[in-house]
Each structure stands twice: as C-alpha cells, then as structure tokens.
Chain A
Amino acid sequence: MTALPVIAAALAAIFITTILIGTGGKPLTVFTFFAQTKAVFLRNKGALAALFASVFLVAAFLFAFYGASGAGIGPEQPIPFSHRVHAGVKAIPCEFCHSYVRRSTHPGIPPVEKCFYCHNDIIPRYPWIQKEREYFDTKTPTPWKKVFYLPEHVLFNHERHLKMEVQCRECHGAIETMDRISRKRFKMGFCITCHQEKKANLGCWLACHN
C-alpha cells in the first residue's frame, strides 16, 4: 500500500499543473474571473478531455499494477501450487522438495515425479494434480515461473548459508504463509548488511561475484 501516497501525489500534481497552465500562472483567477475561466475551459474542451482521459488511464494503470487484489503476491504458476498448504499447514520441510540446498549452490526444484510421492494417494483426481500428472506422463518439465532473481554476475551459494545456520525465511520471507510466493528484490545492500552483522566474508569475488 506504499503506492497510494504516490498515486495521490501524482494526481495532485496533475491537477495543480492543469490549473497553472489553464490560468497562465495565476491560479486565483479561476475564482475571480469565473466566467472567463469557464469560457477558456469551453474553448479547450477537446484538449481537456484528452488530458483527463490520460490522467484516468494512468491512474487506472497504477491501480491495476499496485493496488488491485492479486498485485504483488508473486507470479502466477502453471500449477497453482500453494506453499502455505505444503510448508505451512502440512509442515513439509523445505528440504524435502528443494533437496540440493545443503549440498549445492542451487537449492534445486523438485522433479515432477516427486509430486506423486504423495499425490498418488492424496487428491489424485483434483484437476490441477491431473494436469501435473499429464506433465509426468508426457515427460514434460513443469514450466515454473522464477520468483527470486539475482543479477547474473552474482553467485549465491545456498549450501554455505545453510551451513552457517541462516534460515530460509531470513531471505525468502515467511514462505509458509504465502499461497503464491511474493517476489523480493534482492539488492546488494541487503547482502552487505547481513554480512557485516555476521562478520562474514566481504571480499567482492571471494564472497559473491564471479
């Protein structure tokens, strides 16, 4: 909801700018010379209509992007897999699916077959499970959407962080409360702050860059 003040400020700025342009830099004349103002407005009604239409469109766009329900809850996945259900309600440990996380830079995402360790028995006829079954039967990898990004010149090593007892949630947030995973944008300051606090390696290449 941090976007709301921004939208409000933008709308105010547009309004004030319109008044200033319309009155030639003397905003009070709107009231003192009302008839004249009205005439000016009427004369420019085409331009004004276009202006207000564009203001409306911008506002609608910003609302759809930041304000609508569903915005900021993370990308839509091909199968609406809920981390809240699996990691939260069922309390399956992260490492059950992301099984390489303690022995590799990458945590790994589960192979399609792993879903059916359980879903052979649990709700096997649920439509989304059947869609995942279709991926398995046709030997097609599930095209999951990537949620967390790092720039290509940064190599984050999951193994090292887990061995130093860093919890998953410290970076990824409260995964067990989210249906879809909301995207966090990692910036260098985020890494550096933590490395400084924990007296970890601060060498540019020896730590992160490659």
Chain B
Amino acid sequence: MDRRTFLKIAAMGSLSFASGCSSQPDKTLFSLVQAPDDMVTGRGTWFASTCRECPAGCGIVAKNREGRAIKLEGNPLHPINRGRLCMRGQAALQGVYNPDRLSKPLIRENGRLTPISYEKALSIIQDKGSDAAKKGQGRVAVFTEMVGPTLLSLFKALLAQWHSETPTLFEPFAYESLKLANSQVFGIDGLASYRMEQADLLVSFGADFLETWLSPVEYARRFQQMRAFGSGGKGVYLHVGPYAGLTAANADRFMVCRCGGEAFVAFGLIREVLEKISDSSVSGDLVEPLKRILDPFDREEVLKLSGIRQSHYDLLIERVLSARRPLILGTQGAGAGENTPATDVASCLLNALLDPDLTLIDFSNRHTVERTAKRSDVLNRFKSVTDGKVDLLLLNNIDPVFSVPYNAGFRKTLGQDSPFVVCFSSFMSETAALSDLIVPIAHPLESWDAYEGKTGVWSILQPVMGNLVGTYTLGDLLVRLAFKGETAQQGYRGYLANDLIRRGMIKDERDWIKTVQQGGAFDGLSSEGGLSSKVQPSWSWAGTLSSAIDPGASGTIFAAVPSIRLFDGRGANKPWLNEAPEPMTQVAWQTPVLMDSHTAAKNNIRQGDVLKIASTWGELEAPVYLSEFLHPDLLVMAVGQGHTAYGRYAKGFGTNAAGIFPPDTHPVCGGPLYRVAPISLTPTGKWLKPANTDGSRVQHHRKIALTVPLKALYEHQEKGHPGLGMWDFPLTLPLPEGYDPQRDFYPPHDHDGYRWAMVIDLDRCIGCGACAVACYAENNIGVVGEKRILQGREMAWLRIERYLDEADPTRVIFLPMLCQHCDNAPCESVCPVYASHHSREGLNNQIYNRCIGTRFCSQMCPYKVRRFNWFDWEWPAPLNFQLNPDVTVRSKGVTEKCSFCIQRIKAAHGKAKDEGRMIQDGEVIPACAQTCPTDAFVFGNLMDKTSRIRKLMADPRAYQVMGYLNTKPAVIYLKKVIRDV
C-alpha cells in the first residue's frame, strides 16, 4: 500500500469514526427518595447557626443547595455581628468539606492506627473511664476548647460519674492579663465589652480588635461607627505599640514604642491625667497613692523607658486630656511580653480616671471567652497528668502540641503509654497524631448545640446540612457516655432543648422552633446601664503596676502574634485562608518574620533571606520580610503555620513560632509569653522568594489610593477647570451623560433601566480581607497554591491592595480592587472574539465559552483584575461540594474576573419580574458587600437618581482610580479621610 492509499483509508476511517461518536455519554440524574418540605432543587434554603471558628460566637446563616451548604453569611438578627462575617467565618465551610477530614475512630495498636467502629470506641472510653474511677478521685481529666454551657454541663456530668474534677477550658489566647486587670481594678474577673462607638478618642496599647481580639467583627463595626467619616462619629484612634498589624495600620496615628514600653507610656499618661483632674470626682484616696507610685515616671523617664517619640507622646497627652469620651484599650495579650499586666492595669485605671462612671465599659454583656482557664492553670492541671495522677485524658478539639511552647510537656506526655489519651478531633492534628484513640466528631455546621458568645446572647447551632462523612456529634457521644435509657436515646438535640428549658432560655417546643429559626435567644442583651463597677479600694493592682520592668535591657526581642487569617493555627488547613494574603505583608502561604528595614540594612539582610532565630528554648528558620512599621529591636511573626500534621494544606507550610518560647507562664497574670529575649540571629545563606501578591508598596505618583485631610472637606473648595491631566480629570460617570465627543472615540452605551455600579468608602475599609474570601466562596474561584502565587498566577477576583500614602508614608491605605466595569473598557475593544462584552445593564461580561485565551484583555486592563486560568484548578473531594451551582466553574485557557455577582442580580431580576416592578435600591448585594464588617461597599443602580450610590457620588471625596485614562469606571472610591493628629 502506498502513502496516498494509506492517507485515503485513514481519512475515511476517522470520518466514519467521528460521525459515530458524537453523542454524549449518559449521566445519571438521581431522584430523592422522599422530598423534604423545605427543599426545592435549584433554590437555596437558609439555616441559622453559629460560627465556631473563634470564641466570639457570631451568628451565621448558611445557604443550603440540594443538601449541601455552599455559602455562609452573617445572621442579620444576631446582635454580635449583625449580618457580617470575617474571613475565618467565611472559610468555615472548608472545615466541613476538608478533604483531610477523618471519618472513623482510630485506635493505636502496636504503634499503628487502626479504624474501629463508634460503638467500639465508646465502649473503650467507657471501660477506661470506669477503671479510672475505681482507682480513686480525679483519675480522669478533660481539656476542651471553649464550648457552650450545655456541652460544658454534659462534660461535668460525665466527669462526676468518674469521680473527677470539672473540665479545663483551654484556648491559646485566653486574655489572662486583661482578666487580671479587670479583676484587680474593677473587681470583675472577666472580659467586659466596650461601647467603642460612643467614644470620641480611642487609644489602644496593642489590642488588635480588628484582627482577633475578643470579637473582631463586632469591634470592626463599632470602630467605624466611632470613626468613619459620615457615620456620625468623629472619633480619633491612636495606637501605641511595638509593631503595626492591621489594627494599628488603621490608626489615625501609630506610635511606635519598645516592646513592653507601652506600660510606661500608660504610667506617664496617668500621671498627666492626675495632675489635670485633681479636683474632679475621682476619690482622693485613689489619687494620692497613685501619684506616689507613678511619681518616678515623668516625661523624660517615660521617653527613655518606652522609646516613644517625643512628638507622639505630647500628642497623646494632649488628645487624651482634651477628649470628652475617651476609651483606653489594653494590650493584645500574649505577645506583649512581661509588662502586659502592668499595661492592662494602667489602661483600666486610665479609663476609671478619665470617666469615673465607666459609661463606655459594659460589664453586663461580657465576652464569655473569660470562662477559659488561665494558661498557668492549664499547665498546672496538665502537670497532674504528667505526674501520672490521671489514667484517662480526654481532649476536645484542641491542639496544645502545636500551640503551646514545646517544652511545656504536652508533646512528651502525650507520646507516652500512660495515660490513655482520647482526642475528639475531625483532623489529624499534631495532638491527635500523638493520641491513643482519635474520635472524629461532626463539624459545628453539622451539629446541634448552643453557644453563648457574650453573656446573655445565646446562639443556637443547628445542622445546616446532612452529616457528610458519617461522624457523630460530640454532644451525642457524651450523652451516650453519661446517660442510659431515655436520655441517651433522645440524643443531644433533646438534651439541649431540655437544658434550655431548664435554664429558662425557651419556654416550650414552639419557642424552641422560633429560637432555632432566628438563630438564638438574644433577649438577655442589655443595651445601656446594667452591671456597673468602680475602682476597687483593695489596692491589689498596685503590685501589678510595680511589676513593670525596663524593656530596654533585653536587646532584640522576638514576638509572635495571633493571625487574622489562621487565628491560633486552627485555620491553617483551609485553602482559602492560606491563599488570602496577609493584609499588611500581602504574603500568602508563608510565614515571614517581620524585621525593621533599617535594622536589616545595617545587618546586611535582604527581604527573603532565611534567618535562624534561636533562643534558650529552641530555634526556628524563617524568611525575613522588611517592614517600616515596627520597633528596630523587634522581630514579629504570626502564629498559625508550621504544622507537621493537620492535612495537606497545613503540613509543611511556613513556620511555627511556639518552639522557641519559654514554657513557663507570666508570674503575675499566668498568661503565656509569646515573646522571647535574648535571641540570636544567624543568616542561613538560604533565600526564599516571598509569595506576595502586591506589586509595590508605593503608588508611583499615580491616582490610585487617595487621602484627603478632614479640614479640607469642610472648607469651601474652588472647583478648578477640568482638564485631561491626572489630577484635573473630572469624575466621569459611566452613563450616556458622561459621553464627551471631544474625548471619546466610541459612542455612548445605551442602558436598559439599570446601570450597576459600586461605591467603596476607603475611610471605612479596614483591609481585613473578608470580602476577598467571601468572593472565593461565592464565585468558585480556584486556589492556586504557593508555587503559582510565586509565578503571579493567583485568581482572586477581588483583592485588597495595600499602599503607603503618597503624602505621608507612615500611613497605610487599603483599597479593595475588583473589576471596575468600565464604560470605556479597554478589555472590550481588544478582544478578537468579543468574549469581553458590555451588557445592557453596564456590566462588563466575560463569556467563558467564547474566550480563546489571548490574554489581550489582561494586558490592556489598567486595574489588573483579569485572571487567566493557566490550569484546571482542583477541588479535591469533597471540597467540590461547596461549589456554587449558579456559577460556572472555569476551565483552563479562559480569562475570568469579577461579575458584580451577576447570579445575585439575575435572582433579583427574577423576583422583580414576578412582582411586576423594578429592582429596588439595596435589593442586590454582592458577596463582598454582604460580608463587609464596616459597610465599606455600597452597590446599586446608577440610572436610579434616588439610589444610595447616586447620592454618594455627590460626596466631595468621590474619585475614580486612574480615571484620567477615561475608562469611566463604575466603581467609585471615596477618599480616606486623614484626621489632623
């Protein structure tokens, strides 16, 4: 056969083959066996529950589609978070759908873990418990994470049967110092909440209330009510501390001091205040002794000891003395070092001196994380385990092996044969890996429970979806361990309802249903007044004040701080949280150690150099990130990464700082010390490229993130003649009225009743990144991992850009950047296949099935918001169950970008058509705007002259990012307001 013949036959064969193989393979369409009443396929059903990603206890509503929870939003009825969530709350879904979840109990036999049934596991625990009880008192110990009162009482009932003490509530961040200060100064051993929104001056000595401190979503809202322009408040926020995390970056002035120097700044302030208010209502017997104790701390001494800049100190004094309703917050806690209790006591005293009625402090609705044990008590309790006084140790969802300094003994004791360690955990954490019996428990989103985030605020947890991997809830297991007969059979749900009735939270079954529907019982929340307190005459705080030591002697200090993304490390196995860059450094997937850029330059250290940091207790290696926002003598690292277990997204990423801290606790407050000195620094010669997503810290004099002084807003401004330059280019609305034949090449677009647009208030944005993670959840955005981020291939549709202010580089501005849906979109005119397309409602659509992947559009986009799919991203099962069925999952080779949550616009269109009306203002809320704790986003229709965004556009602060390119963006930014401090 010659070549031509072969070709002819081959062509014929392939033709016949192709004609026969065009039909699709059959897919299966499963029916339900019985249809639930509240489920309609294709429509979401919302269930109220409670977020358990941190002890704050925010209310959530979960959207359930075809039996799977696909999106979490804040519960608008919930008094703590009022419908908003932080990024950790948004990512809670990835705990349920985590591919590394355990599904069966595992027992260690001859050093190997073998799966067993739940029945077997329960009988083992029961046997071990009874054996231990026979041996005597206190032979069983329980360490648990912060749990609700019902579960706690169940633990107590179980332990009583085994003749043992009450369980120990363990949280890595337990605010020991703040509790001590509240107890010594106000006589209340707890954590008051703060009416921050009523203050006109807020001073924080390190409390990171926008990141993790007590209840970050709640305080972010209160903070912007106090401070944001146009919210009624005109408050000023000053932050005194050794480094600037996100909270300090939002301060009107960040005042850097030595690590531990905050105490002396507070002492000096008290001294100044006492001089000023000697005739005021403060009782004389407080003034005189205080004066005596703080007499050495005159101005020079404070400046010398604290290392604060003189101008800053003067400004602080002036502001505090002139404020009408000042509120002083203490330290962040563990990372603040030896002087933490002294600083916290001094801030409490300052509050008492400045406002003797303490109107801004709410002692009634306290944060219930106050119920957790002090670190010193935890270690004492654990010492009895180490000493062999305990036969059975139960650990509930805690990871002390990871989060407690390595030398504290958890690692060693858990690794031994005795006691028998049972770990209730859904993941193979470091602690679980050392346990003898691992019992996986259902995720809070699959469980019934009740949680009290603040006293009086009872939130109900209900399963927002079916049980995914067949695990039991902890409540059900405990009920079966503790009770027999009817109580055991009705399970934890019945026990919970009865318990709530017994406590008087609900009256009957009907009340129960109502409570479950609205997410909890919030009647116990008092608005004003309530429990009040005065300074205690007992003077126990005097000793704490004098415990302050000179921080200057320590040399270079290494400190670790909680992470806004991973909290204490429990978020590290959630891909979204790793992929979302840390707000201040913009680094994802890595844990760099922050170092002052001048100190680094002096020591010849570059960004990315890997340093070996060693203390007396251990050592670690981490890459350096250069920062301008910390004291020269300080190195700071976020906790959370550096896992050696805990699943594929946690293991092997970053560094854990816990290894180099001293195992003992603070002698005064009993809190942990996440701070160590002296340390030695040795360059290892290695270099690690930071996986940062930002291009630059500065704006290169372009019109990107702008600020305006407050004064200038009140002055009459001459409107200059509009021109075509960067600064005189006028604000041009993306509407036909913005068309100017002199400037525009293309004719104006017609709009059909709607022209969607967004206003972003930079003065409200705190840069927390909740919007970015909400966007990942809503829009099926791929997680690319560390390697691809290093190649610049992250897929985020919405990112928070962090810039230094051009006018004053000590200030940081956060700017949420998303597709601007330009009227004159550069991407639209270059696409050879019309894949980027302008819709009748002004949206810039990306038609994925048209896109051929030329990437011309990304090249043309001045905002760099278009993302190209270099690969088909993976959602390892069951993470794919979270995907939003209303949004296409993009495949490789196409470009994608923000759609203004078109699926939500379409849903609103459907509803409006049914009711025969137009979509109302505020009816469409994109995922980013929905979750924003500070209301920085407003979305609406520009064609509607009465809409909220149309009114906001008249704000003198309104501008368009790089508007001089005449792209006519539909995202209008409001400049950040600079208070004159």
Contacts and interface: CB of A to CB of B under 8 A. Distances in A.
Partners in one complex: yes
Given A111-B34, A210-B886, A6 B839 contact: no
B42 A113 contact: no
A86 interface: no
A143 B30 contact: yes
Given A100-B40, A203-B839, 11 more contacts: A75-B26, A104-B41, A111-B34, A111-B35, A141-B30, A143-B30, A144-B29, A145-B26, A146-B28, A203-B840, A210-B888
B777 to A, nearest CB: 16
Contacts of B913: 160, 163
A52 interface: no
A142 B30 contact: yes
Interface string A125-149: 0000000000110011111111001
A159 B845 CA distance: 24
Contact of A112 (B16, B19, B33, B888): B33
A109 B31 contact: yes
Interface stretch (A32-40, A88-96, A150-158, A167-175): A150-158
Contacts of B889: 152
Interface stretch (B204-212, B603-611, B902-910, B940-948): B902-910
Given A111-B34, A141-B30, A153-B848, A13 B12 contact: yes
Given A152-B888, A210-B886, A141 B899 contact: no
Given A144-B29, A152-B888, A209 B849 contact: yes
Contact of B40 (A6, A104, A152): A104
Interface string A186-210: 0000000000000000011110011
Interface of A: 6, 10, 13-14, 17, 21, 47, 51, 54, 58, 61-62, 65, 75, 100, 103-106, 108-114, 135-136, 139-146, 149, 151-153, 155, 157-160, 163, 183, 203-206, 209-210
A61 B839 CA distance: 47
A155 B886 contact: yes
A110 B849 contact: no
A47 B9 CA distance: 12
Q: Which of A113, A163, A210 has the most CB of B within 10 A?
A: A210
Lowest 7 A-B CB distances belong to which pairs? Answer: A106-B42, A104-B42, A141-B30, A105-B42, A111-B32, A111-B35, A153-B888
Nearest to B1: A47
Contacts of A103: 40, 43
A203 B841 contact: yes
Contact of A139 (B12, B29, B33, B848): B33
Interface string B880-900: 000000111100000000010
9 contacts: A111-B31, A111-B33, A114-B35, A140-B33, A145-B28, A163-B913, A206-B839, A206-B843, A210-B886
Contacts of A106: 41-42
Nearest to A10: B16
Contact of B29 (A135, A145, A160): A145
A145 B849 contact: no
A144 B28 contact: yes
B429 to A, nearest CB: 35
Contact of B34 (A112, A142, A210): A112
A61 B15 CA distance: 13
B945 to A, nearest CB: 22
Contact of A210 (B5, B27, B30, B887): B887
B285 interface: no
B847 interface: yes
Contacts, number: 131
Contacts of A163: 913-914
A152 B905 CA distance: 19
B33 A108 contact: no
B484 interface: no
A113 B910 contact: no
Contact of B902 (A6, A136, A210): A210
B527 interface: no
Contacts of B40: 100, 103-104, 108
Nearest to B8: A17
A201 to B, nearest CB: 8
A111 B763 CA distance: 52
A141 B33 contact: yes
B905 A206 contact: yes
Given A104-B40, A151-B849, A159-B910, A112 B8 contact: no
B750 to A, nearest CB: 12
A206 B909 contact: yes
A65 B5 CA distance: 28
A146 B33 contact: no
A21 B29 contact: no
Interface string B36-63: 0000111100000000000000000000
B311 interface: no
Contacts of B485: none
B741 interface: no
Given A108-B42, A205-B843, A14 B12 contact: yes
Given A112-B34, A163-B914, A206 B906 contact: yes
Nearest to B888: A153
B24 A65 contact: no
Given A103-B43, A104-B43, A142 B31 contact: yes
B905 A146 contact: no
Contacts of B82: none
A6 B19 contact: yes
B902 A206 contact: yes
B31 A110 contact: yes
A104 B40 CA distance: 7
A17 B6 CA distance: 12
A210 B23 CA distance: 25
Contact of A146 (B26, B848, B910): B26
B181 to A, nearest CB: 54
A157 B910 contact: yes
B837 interface: yes
**Max count, chain A CB within 10 A of own CB: residue among B35, B845, B913:** B35
B41 A100 contact: yes
User: Which of B31, B837, B886: most chain A Cβ within 10 A?
Assistant: B31
B28 A143 contact: yes
A205 B902 contact: yes
